[in-house]
Amino acid sequence: MQTGLRVSELTGLRRRDIHLGTGAHLACRGKGRKDRATPLTRGTVVVLRGYLTERGGGPDDPVFAGPHGDELSRDAVRRLVQRHTRAAVPHCPSLATKIVSPHVLRHTCAMRLLESGCDLATIALWLGHANVATSQIYLNSRELHQTGEPNRDLRQLAA
């Protein structure tokens, strides 16, 4: 799912939080107990629709449940990401040298949004950042990757 959710937001999702019709989105309670809606891509809607149909359950059931039907723990999510990263290595060998974690996936979502032309205010809303300045790190990261030099404005702030 390309949502940029924090692990706690992901594990707290219930079936009632997923809206797959027009304006597909998921509703979640984020950091600081702030509610927000995160848009879903067409591809994510297709995958979620199939997954939720196959899995079944009621509106109060966790979207991503463990073997006993309870919500996944943070550690279970980390292990799943590690397992799927190892499985992807034969198809993408560079993953073998990378550290992939749920939080890295969140950062990747933010970078993809930035690369697609989203402004920082939109990225901040998408990720549930209380302040746009928190999202500034992605702009600096992109500049560092492109030029090898950190963003001058951020260097001045750090001084």
Catalytic machinery residues: 6, 31, 103, 106, 129, 138
Residues 6+ apart with CB under 8 A from 17: 26, 27, 28, 63
* 3-state secondary structure at position 85: helix
Rounded Cα gap, residues 126 and 103, in angstroms: 15
Half-sphere exposure (Cβ direction) of 117: Cα atoms closer than 13 Å: 0
- Classify strands 18-19 and 35-39 as parallel, antiparallel or unpaired: unpaired
* 3-state secondary structure at position 63: coil
Beta bridge partners of 39: 25
